[in-house]
Amino acid sequence: MVARGVACALAVWSVACDATAGDVLTALGDAGDGRADARAAVDAAATPDGGGADAGGCAAMVDGPCPAPGGVGITVCGRVLDVEDTSIVPGGGTVTVRFFNAVDFPGGPSLAEATPDACGWFVAQGVTGLIPGLLVLTTDDAGAGDVYEPVLTIVPASTGSAVRVNAYTLRADTDRAWSAAAGLGGATFSDMGALALIFLDASQPPLFPFLSGRPAAGVTITEGGTPQPGDDYYFADGGPLSRSVLSPAAGATGANGSGLLIGTQPLQEYGGQRAGCTFGTAKGVGPGVVQIQELYGTCN
């Protein structure tokens, strides 16, 4: 499970991270609930001369605070991103980020909760009770609404660290649109349980909002090193940050480096296959939730 969580400081066009091979880290700075406006602001900020701020005043490519845990537990911080278009999901009581021990999820109590601010930034400082190794991060509706489907991301974590990670959301309407395009017979990816993987080639120059590398096209999702035709789905979007156009005919990742796999098993290893590339792996997931993981790798 390689959703990169690292002790990290982000500055414009530079990264200082305590990273390990195969880890995954991305960052996105933007805000606003209007996706078109947010996307335009992100596109403008994607170059050094792009200005780097939208109308809401959130500086793109600049992280919020990520303080040390102060000797107790860990700190987890990052931004909440909409998986369909990589736009910021601002706060305002719409989304809650929760943290669980991997061994206790989903039945155990949460270790902590965090609410994103107006720029989508969240901080959970001094999270205690963690069993060292892996932390489950989830996003879902903050209240009784049904705007979002439950999403989880696995985060490597150790006591005393400050962990930087992105937290993705999946809107219910996005899930329904993907599922209809996939022909799931009235079920949804969330109902069935799905693993959504974003493959990133760290050997490429950085593409905003990713801190290093960019999405890798031509990757096939594998289970235990074997492709799973019939259970995997990919996108036909022309841009690297959009996941709107699910294409059942596609047999590998497109420009966004992303794919979905159904029928996964929680203890099985899943990764990606492309000639000349090596990617990290993630565990599978059961029904009722979509697990979104960014998998870093390198391609020759």
Q: Phi and psi (nearest 5°) for 73?
A: 65, -145
The token pair that represents 157 in the structure block:
């974590």
Report domain extents, the chain.
7-170, 173-299
Mean pLDDT estimate for the chain: 81
Identify any residues that bridge with 2 across adjacent strands, giving them in sequence order.
none
CA distance 112 to 27: 22
How far lies 234's CA from each of 9, 45, 217, 259, 274, in Å? Answer: 33, 27, 10, 5, 15
CA distance 87 to 134: 26
- Decide if domain 173-299 falls under CATH 2.60.40: yes
pLDDT digits (tens, 9 = 90+) for 96-150: 999 999 888 888 899 999 999 988 999 999 898 887 778 999 999 998 889 999 9
Contact 61, 210 (CB under 8 A): no
pLDDT of residue 61: 55
CA distance 256 to 138: 23
Could you name the CATH architecture of 7-170?
Answer: Sandwich (2.60)
Cβ-proximal residues to 36 (8 Å cutoff; 6+ apart), any chain? none
Q: Phi and psi (nearest 5°) for 169?
A: -115, 155
Contact 266, 177 (CB under 8 A): no
pTM over 0.75: yes
pLDDT digits (tens, 9 = 90+) for 167-219: 999 999 999 999 999 999 999 999 999 999 999 999 999 877 676 789 999 99
CA distance 58 to 165: 18
Residue closest to 234 by CA, chosen among 260, 215, 271, 216 = 260
Cβ-proximal residues to 20 (8 Å cutoff; 6+ apart), any chain? 6
DSSP 159-228: TT-EEE--EEEEEHHHHHHHHHHHT-TT--HHHH-EEEEEEEETTSPP-TTBSS-EE-SS-EEEETTEE-
